[in-house]
């Protein structure tokens, strides 16, 4: 079975998780947050990757694609017959993109990339107020995450832009306004 996939990218705090949860509610798309899958794997009893994942998350660096892609593919297989998947926060760099293409080509139909763009100062304050007790929502980690986003992840958005696959929605606005524009992409 070929899985429909929409990538959801944007800086930390741009609202990827929030918007994906709303899309999942209103459309038969399943939200797969790569970050959430990694945090779950980090906690999993007997995981051999726990410490490695924790190090990357605290440092705002990016976990090797072999780990993340496997978690994503397992989640897709477990979901059964749905309209598609919102792959939230992935691919985050060239390694992720190449690994995903090598493993998933022929298994997925990439519909488009939803890019939530938002000024970095707003993103940082949102993360600092997120209140989810994450080990990376602090000034030090956020500084590193923004450097990683600018140097490694934004070039991936530019890659998709070259083939006209990017749908940008400005997300510094209130959630309702952002979501009203996002809905048009799924209707």
Ligand X SMILES: O=c1ccn([C@@H]2O[C@H](COP(=O)(O)OP(=O)(O)O)[C@@H](O)[C@H]2O)c(=O)[nH]1
Q: Across-strand partners of 72? A: none
| Residue 89 C-beta: closest distance to Mg ion, Å | 6
- Using the rule CB under 6 A, give the single segment among 7-15, 44-52, 140-148, 157-165 that binds ligand ADP: 7-15
Q: DSSP for 127-178, please give it.
A: HHT--S--TT-SHHHHHHHHHHIIIIIHHHHHHHHHTT-EEEEE-SS-HHHH
By the rule CB under 6 A, 60 interacts with ligand ADP? no
Of the two residues 15 and 84, which places its CB atom closer to ligand X in the complex? 15
Nearer to Mg ion, 17 or 99 (CB): 17
Rounded-to-integer distance, Cα 4 and Cα 185, Å: 14
From the CB of 6, what's the least distance to ligand X, in Å?
A: 15
Q: How far is CA 83 from the centre of its chain?
A: 18
Is 35 a binder of ligand X (CB under 6 A)? yes
Tell whether 145 is in a known binding site: yes
Q: Which of 3, 39, 56, 126 is close enough to bind ligand ADP by CB under 6 A? A: 126
How many Å separate Cα 173 from the centre of its chain?
A: 20
Nearest CB to ligand ADP, comparing residues 51 and 175:
175
Establish whether 44 is an annotated binding residue. no
Q: Is 125 annotated as a binding residue?
A: no
Q: How many CB atoms lie within 10 A of CB 77?
A: 11
Residues touching ligand ADP, count (CB under 6 A): 14
**Please, which contacts does 144-147 make with residues 24 or more away whose CB atoms are closer than 8 Å?**
144/59, 144/60, 144/61, 145/12, 145/60, 146/11, 146/12, 146/60, 146/120, 147/60
Choices 52-60, 73-81, 155-163, 170-178 (CB under 6 A): range interacting with ligand ADP: 170-178
Residues forming contacts to ligand X in the complex (CB under 6 A) are 12-13, 16-17, 33-35, 38, 56-57, 60-63, 68, 89-90, 92, 127, 136, 145
Residues forming contacts to ligand ADP in the complex (CB under 6 A) are 10, 12-18, 126, 130, 171, 174-175, 178
């Amino acid at each position: 079975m070929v899985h429909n996939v929409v990538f959801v990218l944007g800086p930390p705090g741009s609202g990827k998780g929030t918007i994906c949860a709303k899309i999942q509610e209103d459309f038969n798309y399943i939200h797969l947050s790569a970050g959430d899958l990694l945090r779950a794997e980090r906690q999993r009893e007997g995981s051999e990757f726990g410490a490695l994942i924790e190090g990357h998350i605290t440092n705002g660096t990016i976990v090797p694609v072999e780990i993340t892609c496997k978690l994503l593919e397992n989640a897709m297989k477990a979901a059964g017959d749905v309209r598609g998947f919102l792959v939230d926060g992935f691919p985050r760099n060239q390694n992720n993109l190449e690994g995903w293409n090598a493993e998933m080509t022929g298994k997925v139909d990439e519909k488009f990339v939803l890019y939530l763009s938002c000024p970095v100062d707003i993103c940082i304050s949102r993360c600092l107020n997120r209140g989810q007790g994450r080990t990376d929502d602090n000034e030090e980690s956020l500084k590193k995450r923004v450097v990683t986003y600018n140097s490694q992840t934004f070039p991936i958005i530019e890659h998709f832009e070259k083939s006209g696959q990017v749908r940008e929605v400005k997300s510094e606005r209130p959630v309702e306004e952002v979501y009203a524009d996002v809905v048009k992409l799924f209707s």
